[in-house]
Amino acid sequence: MKKYRIGIIGTENYHAKQFTEFFNKPDKDGNLAFPDCHVTLVWGHYPQESEKVVAECGADKVACGIEEMVENVDAVMVTARDGKFHAEFVRPFIERGIPAFIDKPITTDTQEAEDLIALAKAKGVPLCGGSSLRHSKQVIELKKAKAEASLFRGGFVSAPLSFSNEYSGFWFYSSHLAEMCLEIFGYNPKSVVATENNQSVYATINYDGFSVNCNFVNDSYNSYAGAVFSKEKTDMKEVSLDDIFLCECEEFVNMVRTGEMLRSYEDLIKPVYLLDAIKKSYESGKKVDV
């Protein structure tokens, strides 16, 4: 059995710890979730957090830097909290043909996102990542309800927001809602109108023939929900986080094993465009095309 050496960059994020445990710690019966994958190297801007991932979660070693990791892993997961560093961190791996997971937001800049996928396409490197909320059971059910509605009329999505923080502000947490919206209602929104009120953001996402209301609720970490409206009925669900991190790892591992991406490059970066439009809209007070 081929063994894949996994590197993780951005150890200050809970995801780094959770992912390392999935790969390196056996369950109560002594079984590993992914026996052919092992986190060998971790690194980040916060050395003490990297040491914790080794000591508490079972990673082998803290790398001296990205240069060491590029030479010694078969795949990488970029989990740094601040999306403005994601492109910088992942680019050397893509250039070397190394498959990568990039946490949400993929980037905080649309041109940077375009450049990344152009490089990945040129090198033939598969990518995955973004928000784990795409994998929620309820998001999948709402997507199915929308697809099966004979007289679909629109919907809404809500999720937590951290408006003021040291990790690029609005960008830090907003990708969860953006990706829930896109996964349920489609990756082809046309325009947005958004407002900011007391650090919460309220956006109307306009598609061809319908709109979706999105509530980014500041400092409210139990506000994951969604609804699909049709003439016949309303499907409304509170969205659970159960098993979503494990699902992310499964998608990543399958990609590493097969080289196949579950989503297209374009869909992977679509949330960056949607969030950029929302931010421009609430800052300008104008409708913005996506």
Beta-bridged to residue 76, according to DSSP, are 7, 100
Which DSSP category does 138 fall into? H
Q: What is the pLDDT of residue 163?
A: 98
Q: What is the pLDDT of residue 166?
A: 97
The pLDDT score that the predictor gives to residue 44 is 97
Task: Quick: pLDDT tens for 257-287.
Answer: 999 999 999 999 999 999 999 999 999 999 9
Q: Rounded to an integer, what distance in angstroms lies between the CA atom of residue 213 and that of residue 198?
A: 18
Per residue in 192-201, pLDDT (tens digit) is: 999 999 999 9
User: Does 127 have pLDDT greater than 90?
Assistant: yes
Phi/psi for 97 (5° steps) reads 80, 25
Domain spans of the chain?
Answer: 4-132+244-263, 133-240+273-289
Distant-in-sequence, close-in-space partners of 216: CB < 8 Å, separation ≥ 6: 158, 159, 160, 161, 163, 174, 177, 200, 201, 202, 203
8 A C-beta contact, residue 82 and residue 166: yes
| Res. 1: pLDDT tops 90 | no
CATH of 4-132+244-263, one of 2.60.40.3500, 3.40.50.720, 1.10.3720.10, 3.30.70.380: 3.40.50.720
* Model pTM score: 0.96
Tell me the per-residue pLDDT of 149-177, one tens digit each, with 9 for 90 and over: 989 999 999 999 999 999 999 999 999 99
Instruction: Assign a CATH topology to domain 133-240+273-289.
Output: Dihydrodipicolinate Reductase; domain 2 (3.30.360)
